[in-house]
Amino acid sequence: MNRKRILFIDDEVNVLNALRRILRHQRKTWEMDFAEGVDDALARLQQQEYDLVLSDVMMPGKSGLDLLEIMQRETDICDIPVIILTGLQQTDLKRRALELGAVDLLNKPVQAEDLEARIRSVLRIKSYQDELREKNYLLEDQLLQARKMEMIGVLAAGAFHDINNVLAIISSYTQLAQLQPDTLEDCVGKIDHSIDLASEFIQQILAFSKPQNTETRDICDLPTIVSNSLKLVRRCVEKRVDVCWEPPTGAAPVAANPTQLFQVILNLCVNASHAMDSGGTIVISVSNVEIDVAKANVVSPKVAPGNYLRLAVADSGCGMDETMIENLFSPFFTSRETGSGSGLGLNIVHRIVESHNGGIEVRSNTGDGTTFYIYLPVVAEPVAV
């Protein structure tokens, strides 16, 4: 069993030495590091994985509250539990620490028994959380594949229709060649072309249905992915819905999983199609954009300012009110009739985009259509990751 690693932070060396002394009998149970201030602690947090942080709150320079704020912004360390040690009785300070994510508060001077009990309690809870998080990752992968299979069912329905049409064409040209032998060469060419179309469609479905490693990232050209997906997209949306693609003059590359991006495009278009009972238009476009701090806060708290590629899927449907937009990405939420949809499509889109360090923005008004904006961070150089 791996020993848990704990980081202690205090600007007073004598306090750190006291902690070393009262916990020395736990050295075989816990790996303990000691940092003299927040800057030292942050450097250690970037170099080593920790299971728990115990920090003094009042220190020169950066305080324990500053540490909590920084940790909440950093995705690599935001899940590490923090216990705040303080000799102060200020309730506002303690309340602020809890608001910033501290899991516990201890008053100094701390009793050895109390300190050990709190550490064991927090570490035990973190172990449960880590186990649940691992199981959640497995369930998310299964959910992604389940949604893919649902979409494959929609694609298969279109496939049967298209293959039936291909067979009808082949049959017609075969009969024509038998009746008019001089047209044989032309008929064979038409038959061969029809077979190629059917084969291409089936290969696309097979590629989409194949289980993928969701962690795989390649340097992708998003416009190419959109263009290649249009045939399948048009077969999945209602016949009365037009799908228009506006290719960009230039688009920066992104590090992404191509199959998952295709799943995003397909889900957004199918969802848009359901919002247009009387028919309408879906417009897909891609553009390079720069996101500043203010815009990043609007898109998602996890989106950092920088250069992004924006995928827009706009429909001329019924639109949504604020309540629907707020619940849009919740699992199993759907505005459709019971039994006509799983409510997982947009939740899957949200999960995929977040896993690519991107964000989603939704603009909609009741009766005035909806536009989904997907923001994906661009990569500087076309090197596989």
Number of domains in the chain: 3
Cite the beta strand spans of 141-188 per DSSP E: none
Query: Do 357 and 232 share a domain, yes or no?
Result: yes
Model confidence at 385: pLDDT above 60: no
Which residue has 């989603």 as its token pair? 360
Query: Do 33 and 159 share a domain, yes or no?
Result: no
Residue 121 lies in a domain: no
Helices 184-209, 222-236: inter-axial angle, 10-degree rounding = 100
Among candidates 257, 268, 274, which has minimal Cα distance to 208? 257
The three state secondary structure string of 12-55 is CHHHHHHHHHHCHHHCCCEEEEEECCHHHHHHHHHHCCCCEEEE
Give the whole-number percent of the chain exceeding pLDDT 90.
Answer: 21
Residue 102 lies in a domain: yes
- Do 64 and 17 meet the contact criterion of CB atoms below 8 Å apart? no
pLDDT tens figures, 364-382: 888 888 999 999 999 875 4
Beta strands at 370-377 and 359-364: parallel, antiparallel or unpaired: antiparallel
Query: Do 242 and 327 share a domain, yes or no?
Result: yes
Query: Do 93 and 225 share a domain, yes or no?
Result: no
Query: Do 303 and 354 share a domain, yes or no?
Result: yes
Query: Do 197 and 250 share a domain, yes or no?
Result: no
The pLDDT value recorded for residue 203 is 66
Query: Do 369 and 307 share a domain, yes or no?
Result: yes
pLDDT tens figures, 297-335: 778 777 888 899 999 999 988 888 887 877 777 665 555
Band of pLDDT at residue 162, cut at 50, 70 and 90? low
Beta strands at 254-256 and 218-220: parallel, antiparallel or unpaired: antiparallel
Residue 127 lies in a domain: no
Higher confidence at residue 13 or residue 187? 13
Range with the poorest average pLDDT among 57-61, 283-287, 295-299 = 295-299
Q: If you average pLDDT over residues 341-359, what whole number do you get?
A: 76
Query: Do 219 and 362 share a domain, yes or no?
Result: yes
Domain containing 163 equals: 136-211
Query: Do 320 and 222 share a domain, yes or no?
Result: yes
Query: Do 381 and 233 share a domain, yes or no?
Result: yes
| pTM of full prediction above 0.95 | no
Residues near 179 by Cβ (< 8 Å), separated by ≥ 6? none
Residue 301: CATH number of its domain: 3.30.565.10
The pLDDT value recorded for residue 340 is 41
Instruction: Write out the H or E segment, with its range, that includes residue 74.
Output: none
Q: What is the mean pLDDT of the chain?
A: 81
Residue 59: both structure tokens together = 């220190």
Model confidence at 185: pLDDT above 60: yes
Query: Do 207 and 281 share a domain, yes or no?
Result: no
Higher confidence at residue 268 or residue 133? 268
Query: Do 72 and 183 share a domain, yes or no?
Result: no
Residue 273 lies in a domain: yes
Q: If you average pLDDT over residues 215-227, what whole number do you get?
A: 83
Longest dimension (CA), the chain: 102
Residue 120 lies in a domain: no
Residue 105: CATH number of its domain: 3.40.50.2300
The pLDDT value recorded for residue 215 is 60
Model confidence at 184: pLDDT above 50: yes
